[in-house]
Structure 1
Amino acid sequence: MTSLKHTRYRQFFPSLNGTNQPFAYLDSAASTQVPEVVLKDIEQYYRQGHANVHRASHSFARHATNAFELARKTLAEFIGAKAQNIIWTSGTTQAANLLADGLAHLVDEGDEIWVSELEHHSNLVPWQQLALKRKANLKVIPVLDNGDIDLAYFRQQLSDKCKIVAVAHVSNSIGAMQPIPELSRLAHQFGAKIVVDGAQAVAHLDVDVNRLACDYYLFSGHKLYGPTGIGALYGSEEALELLEPSMFGGEMISKVSFEASTWNSLPYRLEAGTPNIAGAIGLASAIKFLAQFPLKERLSHERQLLAYALQQLKQHPKVELVGEPMMRVGLIAFNLQGVHPQDAATLFDQYNVALRCGHHCAMPLSSRLSPEGSIRLSLGLYNNQQDIDQAIEAIDKIMELFGE
């Protein structure tokens, strides 16, 4: 088993190697670092001949199209799906907006759209705006004091007025993992569609959309050791057929006249314009990079490291945890007694520790658990015990500066 002190994964990430001073990058929930092989594969695509996909017949175009569709297949297999059920997007945010637009026809006045209190703004605001547009009711699954959603409340309140349930698989703010199979069962019991934001889950869990039984699953490449500007929307065949296109042009069109247009088949019907070809290739490269290491080993390393970090923070007399969910994945939110999170994060940087501070794009949850915001420590495959120890040492130095 991989040692917490010396992880063999770190050597593959050029941004974390070659510096004289150790740099503890503990902000992977915002964006993960990128392994060397991903950078090389993106560069190779451009060097071998850049071309648009699905259009021309020349060799550059054939190479680009083959690489692009192979990337789709690689990503689909990663989450237990079929390639035709994967829609390329620019990331989780675009996917959520695509769904809110494409499912609008299912929502009428007086219907209900359910979200949880711990949602990232990207999986809250699109549904809020849809509810306003369609004069529907945006309903909220509240969060318990420990940060878990109140599943009992949801069971009690759910009715056939519900059309859409949108929830995070893992909270980006406190790391709480939600019982997606049970939420899917409840939504389907009333004929609703369930949308799962998997942005914080895909890098830390064994995600299988079949076991989750969700209708839609969305995530971003830049939180999965891939490049920015690329992500994916999974949908079951039936669920994708429900989506009406909200962007038009390019490959999504089958036939056009001045009187009318017809759309291409899935998945292309929902992919208007020139896609992020290099991004798709880079994301597939990141997935293949992960696949070379046994899944059990990767997940065990991260869980042990998370447990170690949680233990060290709990034992520190000046640390106050924000939320203590029953099942935590990937990250820990906390505050330092008497120190504003923004001040703390600035000082952490002075000690070569990268942490996130603020409301973490989840202001309703922050208002509920920590109105001033919080400091977020989040892990990646490359982290080790030294990174955690460096963060704890930085806490000691910060508290000394504040006379604590």
Structure 2
Amino acid sequence: MCGIVGYTGARPAAALVLEGLKRLEYRGYDSAGLAVVSDGRIEVFKAPGKIAVLEKELGTKLPSGTTALAHTRWATHGAPNAKNAHPHTDCGGTVALVHNGIIENAGALRAALTKRGHRFRSETDTEVLAHLIEELHAKGAPLVDAVVGALQDVEGAYGIAVLSSREPDTIVAARKGSPLLVAIGQGEHWVASDASAVLAHTRSVVYLDDEEIAVLRPHEYRILDRTAAEKEKAVTHVDWDLGTMERGGYAHFMLKEIMEQPESLRNTLRGRLLEEEGTVRLGGLNITDEDLLKIQRIVITACGTSWHSALIGEYMMEELARVPTEVEYASEFRYRNPIVDERTLVIGISQSGETADTLAALREAKRRGARTLGLVNVVGSTIAREVDGGIYLHAGPEIGVASTKAFTSQ
């Protein structure tokens, strides 16, 4: 898990993306980096450790330029050091790229690119993307076409954002398996892993789906499919309170979120408990009473802390509803041959709504004919968009890595 934020507009970009990156630091503490298009070239700055280390090295004079990318890393390929920190560049420094995900065929791609004369500076899987894009971009392909072409050779998961000194006001972003959104401003646009990075500036976002590409310029954005055909996407309004993303006097976010649990539970239950009728109202399930009566079995699938909440849900479902219920770890469910059909209700639980294994498990359940529901916290997330129905937690942003208020709300 890594954090990505990019900006193109009229304002000095370095300070803006660093500000947004601090709100994404929970996604990675190993290293941080910044790339800015300045005076026709790309300037790259990297440092191991937290974002504060990068800021200290940059000092008070930030690089000029109105288009930039920033990244905070949780290392998977290569040691957590400056060499392996993002952004990564091509041989000539024309292209800079940040990435969240894993390129599964990076070894084979690196070997082929090395034979063709490319020079690698890091141990990461990400760097192969910069060189693949370079090959097409250097031959005259526009940046977006070079990205689309390069991704045809890639196997694995990615959320990427790319800059080029040849197109200094353009960011190209692409997603497959890793969350990414476009944020819409007035004469400026953003790309980010999470809405928290941009809410200080805009609340209008477009969530990218798998194999979609975004092209951002100060006064326009376009969403494309994998063949570069343009498509329409709905704009979502994010109404989280920016104050909930600050520590608010607490030593760290985890302590703050522990103390927020009474309020988050009230928010989760508000409008849903009908005390006078002795029942509940759960809008958004999109399932009729007749369809509910056809359900003979419930499977709850999740990972990590959400899996533990699912275990509690299993006991409650069987005790109160008397419907056979079982809990499956999503990373195991997706790779075996599960017994689910149209009489099975599969519930996926995920705070972010982006947990890759849980999403894959739900997709497999739908493929086999099961009805799917999502229990998520983030409005507009991928799981929320793909399931047949679901319930939003309304617990508010959870920044701490160890789940607290999201768990109790689940």
Using structure 1 for the length normalisation, give the TM-score: 0.28
Question: Which structure: greater helix fraction?
Answer: 1
Using structure 2 for the length normalisation, give the TM-score: 0.28
Question: Which structure: greater strand fraction?
Answer: 2
